[in-house]
Structure 1
């Protein structure tokens, strides 16, 4: 038997050693976001101590088989440590996650896990008695509808949590002692008849905050208010026995769907995958459970509420959450709620707080004598059984001392106290959730932990018949049948093509010989064709040059003298030619004529006479311009500016000008 189990045992130990023990946990208490990277360190536990904490269910023979590779008195296991942590005070979820992610990655110096569990104070836990058969629960949609109705009032009551004092404290604008001083001063003013006194006004009068700080906090208070939207729920069945009777209670939690969607989108925007949403209250129960006491109570003090719950045999049996009013006395509330929670059977009361719980040591000791119960600060994991290799107590496992926190240098309160450490209650919540999610080790499968209500991070997908319309179903079905028909047709066509292929092969062999002969003929033909194209280009070029010489040059040689003679014969005694110019660019057979006349009628008569004269040369006068001006000899007169252009296209002009010049005869006359 041992020979058969040895390979399985070695594989199991290799799996445990190779497993990734890193967890990424995000915590948001309504005012600040913490992003923590939790690892699990190996430590040696004494078997005798473990037997004190957890009852052994196996005999000595099984114990020897499970620890054959270890000594008879020690067992190696793991415990959680917050290795790195980063925080952000940004009120926008996406920006807060981005800032915390960058700081955490910079501190850790390695790639962060993609999966993250989200702990939120917006998720409200409750212990409910529901008229349900635990063996036949309802469908998830019906359960969420029922729990949403039950939790709506509780979530609406959370508006009392976000008092202006809690918000000022949560934003690190005042300290816990300053909040108490403001509450006492507020109570004093109201007792003196000032019933309209407000917490924020007293804080300003005492100089703790400014008006701008109060205005920003009031705006943030409006954003935190419950908006009566759909509630997303999670639930766990807690069954326990008491006095030979079995009780069934449902540990539930609810969060506004709008808030859940906002945070889910923020996580997705920053590249994270949210596995679950867990309420901040009750997370520390697994840290208290590791101390080995079967019956205990936990009291968690936050800035805006106090949560108290009792646990019996790994089940939460009583849960109470009270708001902290702005003018409340924390000591009185703690005394009241601890007295109430210790009425049930419990061996010890564990206390954790957002502030340093050591400040309440004297108060807790006095209260412990009053309620006849041990009240201790929840400050370590398995501190009573952790040992070193030599068996000495390991005192370095305090949840506060093992954390490296990355935060902004400006995150300090008005009093100058630093906020570089994780708050005590937040630290316990992170460790408690890490213990619950740990897959191996003493907090894993071998030891039962306290179940917490897990809220899904997003709405479940609707059923297919509700989410898909007729077109989405019809198109794939049509494509499927089309593929079947196409396959049958392809098989039939393949048989026909095989028969045709045999006939084509023979025809191909015959044509292949002809193609080779045609290829050689085509090569010679293309060669001769290229030579012919070259000769045609040369012939065309020579023809163009001959045409240019015979028509263009000869016609121009005859045109210019005739044109000059025609212009000269059109001049009278009152007109003098200044310039006849042919522009070199953008003009062909166009001439610009500039002249001067003594008076306007002479200028007009010259233009008309010139128009009639050049018409015989197929030219015409365009753009005539007559303006008064001083001539070349300093006499007042009129300047004439005009263009002589051919009447027809250039090609026709070149061919017809020569014949026109030979037939024109101009009668010379003396100037008038």
Structure 2
């Protein structure tokens, strides 16, 4: 919500530059709805990056660019995942976060800087093979090598790598000078670093520990690049890692995704799940082919079988990489596509542009911002002041508008209401008086009708139903007295509630439309099954003249009093009437 609220404050265009130390590419990217559009592109192969920056900016301005801010993608920027016991929902203060992440990132940045050694640069440029570089390292460090004996090792043990490689005939002086010039913009001895970070999810097997994606670069390199751009009238806002910036091009989904990003001498692999990065690795080996580096990088991840695999392979790289990967992995590999990716603008440049303009997946990419990371939106003084001022201004405007509208409405209706009020008031008094009299009469009639109904129900109950009930009970007792023999013991006789719903009882008699109005449950015990059956038949004959019926009779073996073996007799004595006669029976209220 805050991002959309302050979207007006974001830049509409940005100059994105990318360098590997030998070549500088630049593209001016701008918003085009929900996508990026490339306005101008330029590149320079000047050995000195200061001259290269001047060349591309001049070329862009000649094409119509009016200047603005810039970001730079460089291999010197470290991108890694750190495990920290810091909940992203409760981050530390900015100064503490910066210090903690610097402490963790410093040794990793030192190790990362080894990729910019002269040997790696010579291999990456194709000036020498890895085997030749290993031979030079062996001689330089005094290790035995088939290329020469002990005397040769002692001679070259104190020589610089580039000079020794040239003397051995592996490279030319011009090639060495080109790599040394590029190394000046890729390596620094400064121990002070600047960092940027992005919160990810919780580590699955370590509760309370969270992953944080961190980017870091030395202060001297950041300041050096800032000065170079500033000399051309352009402000460098941030530096991004060369490998991994295309992550902003991925779609926002909770499904597991794998990104493989290919570069000239390295490959970057990243796995996301539940909208968080769970793994990422940078694989560096200039001696291998693009496909081999991508495959090696993929195997460093723990990938599910249903994960989507994406390849960010620039057109300048091998076009067969995606087919080779799909064949080797026996899985579908999807190429990341974007209309802004051209021969002069790489996927990483597009990803950095989307991230800086706030259009891509922001938490899958971190950058090193000039001046350090910004606090969260609500902790920035200018944002807080703007929010407070806006809220106060809106409240004042709404209050004034509401009062004006309400006053106008009240004033327009006041005169009309005043003129009609006296007529309406007198009419209402007369009508209310009439209504009160009508209600009083209705209440009296209703009370009289209720009293009459109660009296009639009492007469019916005491004059008809109660005598009938008393006679019925006497009849049933008489029937039982005549039917009980010395082989029968009456255990219990009970009656259903007369006020129960007669319709529910009738559901048990699907073929008989009559309804039970009286029902007695009888339970007895007989010495023999014959005595029990005879007792039931005797009851049926005795009950028939009185309009009673015996239903649900059953004789079953069961132990009786004094643990004597016998039979339990259960039955119901019911009185059935038609539905027409039942409608005339009114319960007592």
Per the normalisation by structure 2, the TM-score is 0.51
Q: 1:430-445, aligned counterparts within 5 Å?
A: 430-438=349-357, 443=359
Cα distance change on mapping 1:38 and 1:208 into 2, 3 Å: farther
Provide the C-alpha distance between the structure 1 equivalents of 2:131 and 2:321, rounded to a whole number of angstroms.
19
* Distance (whole Å) between structure 2 residues aligned to residue 157 and residue 149 of structure 1: 14
CA 1:193–1:339: 2 relative to 1, 3 Å: same
Matched, 1:109 2:68: no
Aligned-residue offset at 1:152? 1.3
2:28 is aligned with 1:37? yes
Partner of 1:118: 72
Partners of 2:161 and 2:192 in 1: how far apart? 32
Structure-2 separation of matches of 1:331 and 1:460: 36
**CA offsets 1:403-456 (integer angstroms, 9 cap, x no match):** xxxxxxxxxxxxxxxxxx43xxx61011112223445xxx47xxx654422322
1:374 correspondence with 2:336: no
Summarize deviations over 1:438-493 as a string: whole Å, max 9, x none. 45xxx47xxx65442232213699xxxxxxxxxxxxxxxxxxxxxxxxxxxxxxxx
Higher relative contact order (CA 8 A, sep 6+): 1
Distance 2:347 2:172 in 1: 33
Question: Would you say the 8 A contact 2:281–2:300 is kept in 1?
Answer: no
Q: Counterparts of 2:39 and 2:165 in 1: how far apart (Å)? A: 38
Secondary structure in structure 2 of the residue aligned to 1:341 = coil
Matched, 1:297 2:255: no
- Could you report, residue by residue, the CA deviation over 1:580-627 in whole angstroms, capped at 9, with x for unpaired residues? xxxxxxxxxxxxxxxxxxxxxxxxxxxxxxxxxxxxxxxxxxxxxxxx
Question: Which runs of structure 2 are paired with 1:271-350 in the superposition (5 Å)?
Answer: 271-289=233-251, 294-324=255-285, 327=287, 331-343=291-303, 347-350=307-310
Deviation at 1:138, TM superposition (A): 2.3
CA contact (8 A) 1:94 1:270 kept: no
Aligned pair partner of 1:193 in 142, 146, 153: 146
CA contact (8 A) 2:40 2:65 kept: no
Of 143, 157, 164, the residue aligned with 2:97 is 143
Q: How many residues align?
A: 353
> How far is the alpha carbon of 1:260 from its aligned partner?
1.0
Change in 2 beyond 3 A, CA 1:293/1:208: farther
| Contact 2:195–2:216, Cα closer than 8 Å, also in 1 | yes
Alignment of 1:34-113 (within 5 A): 34-41=25-32, 78-106=34-62, 108-112=63-67
Report the alpha carbon displacement of residue 162 of structure 1 after superposing the two structures with TM. Answer: 1.9
SS of the equivalent of 2:244 reads coil
Contiguous gaps of at least 5 residues in structure 1 = 1-11, 42-76, 382-396, 401-420, 462-672
| Distance in 2 separating the partners of 1:116 and 1:186 | 37
User: Which secondary structure state, in structure 2, belongs to the residue aligned with residue 136 of structure 1?
Assistant: coil
TM-score (norm 1): 0.45
The alignment yields a C-alpha RMSD, in angstroms, of: 4.1
- Counterpart of 1:298 in 2: which secondary structure? strand
User: In the superposition, relative to structure 1, how do residues 98 and 218 fare at CA in structure 2: closer, same or farther (>3 Å)?
Assistant: closer
Among 366, 371, 374, which residue is 1:458 paired with?
Answer: 371
Instruction: Describe the SS at the equivalent of 1:116.
Output: strand
Match of 1:227, SS state, is coil
1-structure distance, mates of 2:28, 2:53: 14
Distance across 2 between alignment mates of 1:458 and 1:93: 22
Q: Is the 8 A contact 2:200 2:363 kept in 1?
A: no
State the match for 2:325 in structure 1. 364
Structure-2 change in CA distance of 1:244 and 1:270 (3 Å) = same
Distance 1:110 1:35 in 2: 12
Question: Matches of 1:279 and 1:337 in 2, distance apart?
Answer: 17
- Alignment equivalent of 1:351, drawn from 293, 311, 314: 311
Provide the rounded CA distance (Å) in 2 between the counterparts of 1:350 and 1:201.
42
The partner residue of 1:157 within 111, 126, 146 is 111
